[in-house]
Amino acid sequence: MVILSTVSMYLIPVLLFVILATAIYKKVPAYETFVDGAKDGFQLAIGIIPPLVAMLVAISIFRASGALDFILAGIAPLLAMVGVPPDIVPLAIMRPLSGTGALGIMSDLIAVHGPDSLIGRMASTMQGSTDTTLYVITVYFGAVGIKKIGDALKVGLLADVCGLLAAIFFVVLVFGSM
Amino acid sequence: MINWIWMTMLIIGLIFAVINNRMDEVNAAIFEGAEQAVTLSFGLISVLVFWLGMMKIAQEGGLLKALSKFLAPVIGKLFPEVPKDHPAMGYILSNMTANFFGLGNAATPMGIKAMEQLKVLNGGKDEASRSMITFLAINTASITLIPTTVIAIRMTYDSQNPGEIIGTTIAATIVGATSAILIDRYFHWRRTRRKKVR
């Protein structure tokens, strides 16, 4: 645990050192090259704005209108039958759609149930074990202008289902029954 | 596909807004969503500018090429369409390494660079190639060692042991990433089979 966080802490400085050391070795003009490469950064970030605005506005409307709650109310009993606690369902649905939304639900669950409760541990594991699929697709494909995304969303969401169920399974396995 | 998801969310949302009489909330949500998107993008400017600059030095110095040569035998199996010494491989590897150590800020610029190169490999088309879908699938599953944000929140709420969820998180992330790779393979197999039948 301590070793891991130390590695994470040193990784970026070490990486920068290695990059600069090879630049000296290969006689690359580091400063000019940096400025040249960095130019694209601004353009790329600006290019992400349109797809991201489109997606986040749609998700906000979907949440604020109560449509999400309606779907949750329909799905929760079904998931309860497979052993998913109803409290955790909103987080499971939100996790692939909105990172900040999921973070909000997770903090709320931890505040209400306590971080060391079964629900709190489940929420923590779910939040940490996967990324926001819709955001990743919007940013990566938006940045390079991919319009036809093929099976990307299907693959991402199905993998999320597996990951989220695995989170519930492992928490119950490690921290005891419900 | 993304078109349909987007339209469905908007239209169903608007219909529900009428049924539930939540027009005020929806009006506010429109501007909150848009603002959040712009804030996120602006937050990316600093890291994108910095890491794209550093990665350019790494590329010119031959570091990316060396990295791809070194790890290509393993990762190459996941991306059979990417030539072993192509710059895309180097970016893919740097993205995965950064994600692995929970450095999301560094991972995104490298991921975007990888996508750019994969697009070049695909002849610059606006269609997602097989490698792009695989790369996305791995990224959405995000193999992370230490979920720093989660641990921070657990600490705020006085957890007895904030780090106790690291084990379950790694186990769940491995299942997620493995299923991402397997599901991606399945869909690829289905696509190629359909083409052969035609």
Which of A 109-148 lie inside 8 A of B, CB atoms? Answer: 110-111, 114-116, 120-121, 124-133, 136-137, 139-141, 143-148
Cα A76 to Cα B116: distance, rounded to the nearest angstrom: 40
Other C-beta atoms closer than 10 Å to the C-beta of B27 total 13
Count of residues in chain B? 198
- Residue A29 distance to chain B (closest CA, Å): 8
Using CA atoms, how far apart are residues A39 and A47, in angstroms rounded to an integer?
14
Distances (CA, A) of B102 to A10, A104, A172, B165: 12, 20, 25, 15
d(CA B194, CA B185) in angstroms, rounded, equals: 14
Query: B147 near A127, Cβ under 8 Å?
Result: yes
> Does B24 contact A at CB distance below 8 Å?
no
Helices (H) and strands (E) in chain B, counts: 8, 0
Backbone angles phi, psi at A148, to 5 degrees: -95, 110
Chain A CB within 8 Å of residue B123 CB: no
- Any chain B CB within 8 A of the CB of A3? no
pLDDT in tens, B38-68: 988 888 788 888 888 888 898 888 887 777 7
E strand or H helix that includes residue B88: helix B87-100
In B, minimum Cα distance to A70 occurs at B16
CA distance A40 to chain B (A): 7
User: How far is the C-alpha of A49 from the C-alpha of B34, rounded, in Å?
Assistant: 9
Terminal C-alpha separation, chain A: 27
Pick A64's closest partner by Cβ from B26, B44, B159: B26
Three-state DSSP class for residue A176: coil
Which of helix, strand or coil describes residue B127?
A: strand
pLDDT tens digit at each of 178 positions of chain A: 556 566 666 777 888 899 899 999 999 999 999 999 888 888 888 888 888 898 889 988 998 999 988 888 888 788 777 777 888 888 888 888 888 788 888 888 898 899 999 999 999 999 988 888 988 999 999 889 888 888 899 999 999 999 999 999 999 888 876 5
Residue B126: enclosing H or E segment and its boundaries?
Answer: none
Residue in chain A lying closest to B119 (CA): A144
Nearest to B120 by CA among B93, B81, B94: B81
The CA distance from A168 to the nearest CA of chain B, in Å, is 8
What does the pLDDT profile of chain B (198 residues) look like in tens digits?
677 878 998 999 999 999 999 999 999 999 998 998 898 888 878 888 888 888 889 888 888 777 777 777 878 888 988 887 788 888 898 888 777 766 667 788 889 999 999 999 999 888 999 999 999 998 888 777 677 778 878 888 888 888 888 889 989 999 999 999 999 999 999 988 877 665
**What's the CA gap between B123 and A78, in Å, rounded?**
45
- Judge whether A119 and A85 are in contact, CB under 8 Å: yes
CA-CA distance, B68 to B63, in Å (whole number)?
Answer: 9
The ipTM, to two decimals, is: 0.82
- Does this model's pTM top 0.90? no
Residue of B4, B5, B9, B187 best to disrupt the A interface, most CBs of A under 10 A: B9
Q: Which of residues 39-98 of B touch A (CB under 8 A)?
A: 40-42, 44-45, 48-63
B138 touches chain A (CB under 8 A): no
Report the residue of chain A nearest B56, measured CA to CA: A37
Compute CA distances B194 → A54, B187, B189, B190, B198, whole Å. 33, 11, 9, 6, 7
- Are residues A37 and B55 in contact, defined by beta-carbon separation less than 8 angstroms? yes
Enumerate the domain spans of chain A. Answer: 42-175
Residue A33 pLDDT: 93
User: Can you give the C-alpha Rg of chain A in angstroms?
Assistant: 21
Pairwise CB contact (< 8 Å): A124 & B50: no
- Alpha carbon distance B109, B91 (integer Å): 9
Contact check, Cβ <8 Å, A153/B40: no
Q: Is B78 exposed, middle or buried (0-12, 13-18, 19+ CB in 10 A)?
A: middle
